[in-house]
Structure 1
Amino acid sequence: MTISADDLSFVLDREQIRDVLARLARGEDRRDADLISGAYWPDATDDHGIFRGTFKEYLAWVVPGAPSIPVTLHTLGQTLIDVTGDTAVAETHVTSYHRIDFGEQEHDVVIGGRYVDRLEKRDGEWRIAHRTMLYDWFRDFGQSVDWSQGVMGTPFLADHYVGSANGDHSVTLFQQKSD
């Protein structure tokens, strides 16, 4: 079997697009402006149904996050990618977890949906030009578990096992790698 330069280019484009999507999900979970900015073109637009605007407006909305949502986790599923030259469309399944403080108590909420992205390759780099969020299902699991007690009745051995939007063990690990 002979692999052509076009075949390799196609595979590399698709992998670069997948990397953009993964970095964006991580950036949103960590509220990391640099990671999010590296996934969108500055002139991009975003439509999350509950937010619609320019990339600059989206970044100002998503990075601080709501104080009532201390933890999020976006898990990406399969992605269908259609590349045509320097443009692409992608549909990625997402399951997003949110811990939401309703004042009296925190709830664990999960949303299932799809990101529908239009991407552009500029100067050899893929980024999102426009994103639309499609919502397929929603589930409020009620009152959140108290993580200070550990998992299933067994206490954690150290403080770093519970995730948070900022400064958890994952952020520390990646910072050590770049230092």
Structure 2
Amino acid sequence: MTTSTEASVAAHVQAAIAAYAHALDADRVDDLVELFWPDGAAEITGVGTFEGHEAIRAGYAGFSPTRPQLHLVGNTVITSATEDEATAVSNLAFFQRDDSGWAVRLVGRYDDVLRRRDGEWRFQRRVTTFLP
């Protein structure tokens, strides 16, 4: 893979990860679902695995924010990449605001597989694991 291809893959992976966090925090479930391939899966450890658009939509509909929230995702490392598939791992900190201000509620990690089809990058599988 050329340096420019590696940079392009990295940019698309980062864009999908950021779009997911923004859609989740803004309660835009339809936008979140569209970040997955129709045969994609979202697994939230301890909660369940949602396979396919309808299951992902139903699963995430149950997570509507009750207060302002913010998912900060960082330290993303692309662990493997080709022109059509990439795997990545990222750290996650979930903040929520209440009457006393913003506070970290959860920390965890995302393990992702993204695929490119017809020039478009989307999640094939996203595993969310929360740390104790």
TM-score range, shorter chain: 0.7 to 0.9
Q: Could you tell me how far 1:120 is from its partner in structure 2?
A: 0.6
TM-score (norm 2): 0.82
In the comparison of the two structures, how many residue pairs are matched? Answer: 126
Corresponding residue for residue 62 of structure 1: 60
1:36 aligns with 2:32: yes
| RMSD, aligned CA | 2.3
1:11 aligns with 2:7: yes
Q: Could you tell me how far 1:134 is from its partner in structure 2?
A: 1.6
1:110 aligns with 2:96: no
Distance in 2 separating the partners of 1:47 and 1:34: 17
Distance in 2 separating the partners of 1:34 and 1:10: 29
More strand by share: 2
Written as runs of structure 1 = structure 2, the 5 A alignment for 1:74-93 is 74-81=71-78, 82-93=80-91
Identity %: 26
Structure 1 runs not aligned, ≥5 long = 101-107, 138-179
TM-score (norm 1): 0.62
Corresponding residue for residue 168 of structure 1: none
Residue of 93, 96, 106 corresponding to 2:94: 96
Corresponding residue for residue 73 of structure 1: 70
1:124 aligns with 2:119: yes
Partner of 1:31: helix, strand, or coil? coil
The runs of 4+ residues in structure 1 deviating greater than 3 Å are none
1:52 aligns with 2:19: no
